[in-house]
Structure 1
């Protein structure tokens, strides 16, 4: 009886726990920064506000100044929108496209399924970073092209995960029952198979987001990502690489921000996976 009382007393807290853990807070923090960041900058993002380059942390400049004397906090608040925004759009599109094509492959005739698999095999054999370098070097760099590059690079991986999950579900009895009832293939894919693979697809979506953040940051560090006067977190690291020997906050802050962003998303993915396994 006492155990039951304690369990009932703890149940509201347990229901709130997903919103109180550090991984959710980190993800929510970066999402809020991406939305409101440009409107809360203390200084104009491109304005030189100090003659002291690579200035240390101070009350006036909480993250110091960059290699030109611009306020680093202001630049990071704007750069976070590019990093989070581009990666979020690209990962949503890559996961959605990969999952939809996977469902189509599972319910399609064998010939269509084989053709789709061979096309995906060809795309997935190309390393994503090499593909991105070729596309950006050949067609230039823009936000739209970076998103398209990330989608082309990571949609095949999302397809492979969703296809293996959907194929397993397609062989189960509840799908056979739906076929006997005369349900359409579209209905079976969307109403029967998709809900049962959605948690795994969401976990894979989180991984795609992390991969794309690192891809876009790497391209920006090489000078092939977001171009000046705009910048993402990877661009800020590249711009301020001259402050490495001084341990300048202008270099350390964006690098740490990328780390916290990816760690937060990874922790959320791990939490989703644990909850799915417990069920």
Structure 2
């Protein structure tokens, strides 16, 4: 076999994704589609009050039964996906973006700047995430504009520590030293020499961070401190339909399964990213 054919075969193997990863990707794309167009796909609003019984079982008219007010649970889950996925995604992007930027600044700057940023991040890390979330919500309220920066602030330290550990190794490479010697500015070194070499692992960390944020927001909503009525995310759907728990009604099972399916899908996708299995074979 020629070297070109061998290289092409190796590239295909690295880009190929095992079926668990494809399954995770399919579920993730499904929930993203539901979050973007859910109510339009159903043709009716989750807040519509029908004539169905409270906590009605699954039927042809109500595929996931009804909630504590007789509303269609499928529509409620679809509507909740908009808040659950949307808030978690925005908060995750904000946390990873800020954490990565601070890490690049710390590594590419002077030692005292690195020490100051690292100690400041350590201060945030020392506060338990749930406790910090409760403090922020108690101080500023649980409105949507506050939930996003609250969740982002909690997970900035984790993103910073991962990005910094990667950037420190890249910063010691010869080509970074050469760039610094030829007089390149700090911003150039951050964005052109270090950042491109940590993008891949940071994308994997982004997926994990999304799961953490998702579960944090669901926990806050279950405690009544997250998304407030009449809006609802999956965590608040579990809380408001807690009356269906003794009978195992779909009203409480459906949003719980939605949370589980999304978190499992993201983990399946991360664990089977193209190239990971190939790297593990060597």
TM > 0.5 between the two? yes
TM-score with structure 2 setting the length? 0.91
Task: Determine helix, strand or coil for the equivalent of 1:246.
Answer: coil
Displacement of 1:38 in angstroms is 2.4
Aligned counterparts of 1:276 and 1:142: Cα–Cα separation in 2: 45
TM-superposed CA distance for 1:75, in Å, is 0.8
Query: Which whole-Å CA distance do the structure 1 matches of 2:51 and 2:9 have between them?
Result: 56
The corresponding residue for 2:128 is 127
For the 8 Å contact 1:34–1:80, the answer to whether it is kept is yes
- Say whether the 8 Å CA contact 2:14–2:278 is kept in structure 1: no
Name 2:24's counterpart in structure 1. Answer: 23
Judged with a 3 Å threshold, the aligned counterparts in structure 2 of structure 1 residues 243 and 167 are, in CA distance, closer, same or farther, namely same
Return the offset for 1:14.
8.3
* SS of match in other structure, 1:21: helix
Residue segments in structure 2 that go unaligned for 5+ positions in a row: none
TM-score, with structure 1 as normaliser: 0.92
Whole-Å Cα distance in 2 between the matches of residues 72 and 14 of structure 1? 42
**How far apart are 1:46 and its partner, in Å?**
1.4
Task: Select the structure with the greater relative contact order (CA < 8 A; seq sep ≥ 6).
Answer: 2
Note the C-alpha offset of 1:138: 2.2
- What is aligned with 1:70? 71
Tell me the CA shift for residue 277 of structure 1. 3.1
Unaligned runs of 5+ in 1: none
Please give the alpha-carbon distance, in whole angstroms, between the structure 1 residues aligned to 2:24 and 2:73.
25
Match for residue 276 of structure 2?
Answer: 274
What is aligned with 1:221? Answer: 222
Q: Quote the Cα distance in structure 2 between the aligned partners of 1:198 and 1:16.
A: 19
After superposition, the C-alpha distances for 1:132-161 in whole angstroms (9 at most, x for unaligned) are 011112221111111011011001110011
Other-structure match for 2:173: 172
CA distance in 2, matches of 1:140, 1:147: 12
Q: How many residues align?
A: 277
Once the two structures are TM-superposed, the CA of residue 21 in structure 1 deviates from its matched residue by 1.3
Match of 2:185?
Answer: 184
